[in-house]
Structure formats: structure tokens, C-alpha cells
């Protein structure tokens, strides 16, 4: 029991530090990209962060909803990426936490920050009370994020094995399990 608790504590520390570094990287990219850009490019960057958050939310849901049996069958037939999908499914809680909580939440925070930058840029062009622009941009970012994740969750549940396998196949180009 003590070993399991220790492993969980180590996982929590790892994911906390990973979240710190990923958020620094995403923030850096966002700051660099948004600091000297026009509203259109800024909006595209904002939408990319929203879509990235929705995508990773879908992967997090898919890994928890996927059926392990087809993945084992594919793995036995040496289908590329099936080994990674099987590992992800066996570690569904950790993979889901990383996808939903780390990447998804960081994208939500960064898209909120990007929304503020865009709102400030708009107030320089249009002479409307900055409060109103900020409220509208914030509401748009929140609604696109929440609506996108709601749609994505439904898709992920219905297509969990396809999504998990597709993601795993992509990851398998960069990650090669040790037990091959």
C-alpha cells in the first residue's frame, strides 16, 4: 500500500512539473506570436489554442472510454501504434489527466490570455468601452471552448477506439515502448 501511495505521489510531482514547463512553453509561444501581430493572426492563434484544448480533451475522453480488447488484437498483429494505444489504455487515468487537465487546462488559460490581448488590440482600433469588448471576447472564448469540448466528448465516446488508435499511431513515430 505504501509503495502505491509513493508511486502516486511521484506521479503527482511529475505531472505538476510537466504542467509548469508546458504552460511556460505555451505562454512563451503565445506571447511571442501575439506581441507583434495583427488581430486576424492573433485570432487564428487563439483558435488554434482552443482547438488544441478540444482535441486533447477528446483524446482524454477516448482513452477512458476505449475498449482494450481490439487494441490487444491489433497489438498481437503488430499494427503500428497499437502497442502505444495499449499502454495508453492501461494507464488511462494518467493519460486522461495529462490530456484533459494538463494540456486542456493550459490551452484554456492561454486562450483566455490571448483573448485579453486581442481585446486590447480591438480597443485601440474601435472606440468602444474596453469593458464591453473584453466581456464579449471572454464570452466568445469560453463558449467556443465549452461548446467545442461538449461536441468533442460526444465524438470521443462514440469513436473512442478510432481516436485512441489514431493518436497512438501518431505518437508511435516519436515514442517507442521499451518492451518491444
What distance in Å separates the CA atoms of residue 94 and residue 171, rounded to the nearest whole number? 16
Q: Is 180's pLDDT higher than 60?
A: no
User: What's the whole-number mean pLDDT along residues 104-115?
Assistant: 90
Task: Give the integer Cα–Cα distance in Å for 69 and 3.
Answer: 29
Exposure of 121 in the CB half-sphere (CA atoms within 13 A): 17
The tens digit of pLDDT for each residue in 114-130 reads: 898 888 888 888 888 88
Q: Which long-range contacts (CB under 8 A, 24 or more apart) does 121-129 make?
A: 121/38, 121/39, 121/42, 122/39, 125/39
Strand locations in the chain (E): none
| Average pLDDT taken over every residue of the chain | 90
Percent of the chain at pLDDT > 90 equals: 56
What is the pLDDT confidence band of residue 8, given thresholds at 50, 70 and 90?
confident
Instruction: Locate all alpha helices (DSSP H) within 36-159, ordered by sequence.
Output: 39-65, 68-76, 82-90, 92-96, 105-125, 130-158
pLDDT band at 2 (very low <50, low <70, confident <90, very high): low
Confidence of residue 90 (pLDDT cuts 50, 70, 90): very high
The residue-averaged pLDDT of 69-88 equals 91
Amino acid at each position: 500500500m505504501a509503495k502505491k501511495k509513493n508511486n502516486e505521489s511521484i506521479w503527482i510531482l511529475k505531472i505538476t512539473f510537466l504542467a509548469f514547463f508546458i504552460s511556460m512553453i505555451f505562454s512563451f509561444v503565445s506571447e511571442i506570436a501575439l506581441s507583434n501581430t495583427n488581430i486576424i493572426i492573433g485570432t487564428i492563434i487563439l483558435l488554434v489554442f482552443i482547438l488544441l484544448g478540444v482535441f486533447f480533451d477528446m483524446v482524454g475522453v477516448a482513452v477512458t472510454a476505449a475498449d482494450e480488447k481490439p487494441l490487444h488484437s491489433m497489438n498481437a498483429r503488430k499494427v503500428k501504434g497499437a502497442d502505444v494505444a495499449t499502454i495508453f489504455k492501461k494507464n488511462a487515468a494518467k493519460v486522461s489527466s495529462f490530456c484533459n487537465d494538463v494540456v486542456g487546462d493550459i490551452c484554456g488559460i492561454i486562450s483566455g490570455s490571448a483573448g485579453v490581448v486581442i481585446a486590447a488590440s480591438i480597443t485601440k482600433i474601435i472606440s468602444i468601452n474596453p469593458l464591453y469588448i473584453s466581456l464579449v471576447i471572454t464570452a466568445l472564448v469560453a463558449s467556443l471552448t465549452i461548446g467545442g469540448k461538449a461536441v468533442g466528448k460526444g465524438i470521443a465516446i462514440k469513436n473512442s477506439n478510432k481516436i485512441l488508435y489514431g493518436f497512438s499511431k501518431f505518437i508511435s513515430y516519436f515514442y517507442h515502448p521499451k518492451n518491444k
